[in-house]
Structure 1
Amino acid sequence: MTALRRGLLAAAMLLSISVGRPAFADDCVPLKSTVSPARLAALSRGFNADGWINGAPPGRALLQQLRKAGMSHVRLPVPAERVMPRFAAKDEREASLRVLDGALKQLTSLGYAISVDLHPGERFNRLHKDDPDAARTELQEAWRALAGVIRSYPADLVFAELLNEPDIDADRWQNEAEALAAFVRGLLPATTLIVGPVNWQRADSLPRFRPLADPDVVYAIHFYDPMVFTHQGHWDERDPLHDIVDLPYPINAGDPEVQALRRDLQARGAVKALAMLDTAIAAARDKPGADGWLAPALQWQQQFSRPIIVNEFGVLKAGAPRQSRLRWLAEVTAYARAHCWGWAHWELAQGFGLVDAATGKPDPGAMRALLGAPGRPEGAPAARRDR
């Protein structure tokens, strides 16, 4: 693709992204950011397409429906071990890169921006802890391969997320992130990078992470608080959260449903689950809503004037009351819009997904909750503005 064609395609796609619903709250005053406002707008509303690279991709009709509804961004997790020489044979690596190329081709044709997320599993995380030099080599080889695909697409449309949820200590990751960003910048000079802190990329971990020297970076946090609500009905029967179901949001000690759940856990002898619930009830006195949990990230942003995206958040559908789930989703995205943060829901069609299993189409209630008024779920609060 020639430079002229890439430029024309990028302009057309960014125009398609910018039309329709406003990206942020009408009274939002964007930061004086070193990242292009058009690129930040492209990241404003999205979802994770987990499983595309190593499973079945979503259908084109579904992607079109989501794009028409107002989604502008797809976060595309690439299983790190599938593109690292230590963990995958050449044929497997090349096959994964072909799938990535096909995904980028389809998504850009539909008008999406895409963040390519290097998403490790347990094997790389063990290596990362035990052998830093070997891990650095694998990261560089992975990004060398990914860059070979990404550079064929307009830099305004494809973002590079350095590493999902780095599982090492904060000081070490600070140094590694700087070095990895410089390496990837050498491969992709015009691409906006995405990076986040350690400790599951929690909002309260961001204050320990200094902005990188590279100015063209968006900072990613993940949000699942309170975990006892978002992960109730956990898929692993050994996890205490598996024993908790029908917990409403917000969590209030005086709520009859919360009291009934406590009695049920006591009667079943679910000691660990009961302790987790009681901890969440106590925490809710100081942090009744999303704003309390997300405040550390907002304070960091106000200090450093760097853009933020919440590129993972969601509620496991198996155990959560539907209206509470929708209320929580609406609260998170309203807060993000009010503070000019992008967001990407976790995920599309699995346990946390946006798709209605009965119809195979986007859940209208979840879409209204995410995208905001009109149709905000009853009881969903407007975002607080803490400027």
Structure 2
Amino acid sequence: MKQKKYILLLLAAFWQFGYAQQRSLAHLRAGQLGYGINVSWLEQYWNPQVLYRDKLTDNDFRLIGSLGFKTIRLPVAFQQFYIQGSDIQKAKLLSDIDAVIRKSIRYRIRLVLVNHYGNLRADHLQDDTQQLLALWTFLEKRYRKISCNSLYFELLNEPVIGDQQWLPVARKLAARIREGSPDRTIIVGASNYNSIYELSRIAPLPLKNIIYTFHFYEPFLFTHQGADWIGKQVATTGIPFPYLDQQMPPLAPAARGTAGEANYKNYHNEGKAGAVHDKLLIIKKWSDIHHVPVLCSEYGVYRKFASEQSICNYLTAVKNELDRLSIPWMIWDYDENFSIFQGKPGRRTLSPCLSELFRK
């Protein structure tokens, strides 16, 4: 009887050691991501011509590295260009991804490969799941030999179905990837568009070497002001960050009666670094309770209507809070409508404020 208890205790100790090792690996890989930036390009499913753009040149990689970024997050519209794409589109897409991977390795920049805008619908769950399983089976095999320290897989950007449906699918996808790449770090977000709040409500998957991701665009009234694809709720433009009463524009007539009106009236509470801290602390506490690493894989500002100073104030405030909480982060984005630059990417088009920020 004593011998049996001893064996059970020994097995438990080995299990705990193995779990701790894998837990450490997930935290190590999360820490290695450091500061990152999204390169918006191959996720633009509405424009197949993006497949033929020479987007990330050697000069871009040198610039990204010189600004202190350690990671590129590469969102890809696999649904449009691979699952539903023509043979020509498939070949060009894979060629583009291969080129980015080669350059990332050459310049010692880590890469997160993201399935962006992928289908996973509640009313087509079984069929969509099978498509995703086939996709990740293919990608795992194609990139199996790429170092797990260099390439990470993010299963699905901003899932829109509920977590009770999404998480079992995520578990299946991760298990399929692990069949051929047992040490590949996998990134998983929660429902409601990678909501920080939904993530804080779930239990982590019973899997090892997982990084949990969230997106942070709060206060939304500021970060998406004037974004036409959002609608009337963000019609008010010229909103400063942080909140300054004397600089606040009047509420846009189009925003009246929408969620934007309530957000406008509450902006004096939300538009400050303290509110950013309070929200990020929610997910930090969740991370600590469950002993899993978290990643802010998107935060940024739509720059068309925001002042350069407010953009820098916001990016600085969020960066400082994430750094304080030891959460790695990735800005959205490099050179599209949330760009950190005031024109074509380059040192000359980076504001002095942001130049200083990325030196820290």
- Cα–Cα, structure 1 residues 194 and 359, in superposed 2: closer, same or farther, change >3 Å? closer
Identical counterparts, % of pairs: 22
CA contact (8 A) 1:41 1:342 kept: yes
CA contact (8 A) 1:49 1:348 kept: yes
1:371 equivalent in alignment to 2:348 = no
**Normalization by structure 2: what TM-score?**
0.83
CA distance in 1 between partners of 2:314 and 2:238 (Å): 14
Aligned to 2:246: 256
- Cα–Cα, structure 1 residues 364 and 275, in superposed 2: closer, same or farther, change >3 Å? closer
Aligned to 2:16: none
CA distance in 2 between partners of 1:218 and 1:270 (Å): 37
Query: How do residues 32-51 of structure 1 correspond to structure 2 at under 5 angstroms?
Result: 33-35=23-25, 38-51=28-41
User: Which runs of no fewer than 5 residues in structure 2 stay unpaired?
Assistant: 1-21
- Cα–Cα, structure 1 residues 239 and 82, in superposed 2: closer, same or farther, change >3 Å? closer
Aligned to 1:155: 148
Deviation at 1:215, TM superposition (A): 1.5
CA contact (8 A) 1:114 1:157 kept: yes
Aligned to 1:339: 325
The number of residue pairs the alignment matches comes to: 330
Of residues 210, 214, 238 in structure 2, which corresponds to 1:217?
210
Of residues 191, 195, 211 in structure 1, which corresponds to 2:188?
195
CA distance in 1 between partners of 2:209 and 2:146 (Å): 18
Query: How do residues 35-184 of structure 1 correspond to structure 2 at under 5 angstroms?
Result: 35=25, 38-52=28-42, 55=50, 56=53, 57-82=55-80, 84-85=82-83, 87-121=84-118, 124-125=119-120, 128-184=121-177
Deviation at 1:235, TM superposition (A): 3.5
Deviation at 1:98, TM superposition (A): 2.0
CA distance in 2 between partners of 1:149 and 1:166 (Å): 24
Secondary structure at the counterpart of residue 46 of structure 1: strand
Amino acid at match of 1:256: Q
RMSD: 2.6
CA distance in 2 between partners of 1:106 and 1:51 (Å): 16
- Cα–Cα, structure 1 residues 88 and 52, in superposed 2: closer, same or farther, change >3 Å? closer
Deviation at 1:80, TM superposition (A): 2.3
CA distance in 1 between partners of 2:266 and 2:355 (Å): 27
CA distance in 1 between partners of 2:265 and 2:209 (Å): 39
CA contact (8 A) 2:148 2:185 kept: yes
Higher mean alpha-carbon deviation, 240-249 vs 207-216, is at 240-249
Q: What is the CA deviation profile of residues 233-253 of structure 1, one whole-angstrom value per residue up to 9, with x for unaligned ones?
A: 2134x722553221111235x
- Cα–Cα, structure 1 residues 82 and 94, in superposed 2: closer, same or farther, change >3 Å? farther
Deviation at 1:363, TM superposition (A): 1.5
User: Which runs of no fewer than 5 residues in structure 1 stay unpaired?
Assistant: 1-31, 374-387
1:243 equivalent in alignment to 2:256 = no
Amino acid at match of 1:233: G
Amino acid at match of 1:165: E
CA contact (8 A) 1:84 1:141 kept: no
Deviation at 1:269, TM superposition (A): 6.0
Amino acid at match of 1:81: Q
CA contact (8 A) 2:26 2:210 kept: no
- Cα–Cα, structure 1 residues 296 and 242, in superposed 2: closer, same or farther, change >3 Å? closer
CA distance in 2 between partners of 1:210 and 1:370 (Å): 35
Amino acid at match of 2:295: I
Higher mean alpha-carbon deviation, 318-327 vs 147-156, is at 147-156
Deviation at 1:275, TM superposition (A): 1.1
CA distance in 2 between partners of 1:105 and 1:269 (Å): 48
**Normalization by structure 1: what TM-score?**
0.78
Aligned to 2:270: 284
CA distance in 2 between partners of 1:100 and 1:192 (Å): 18
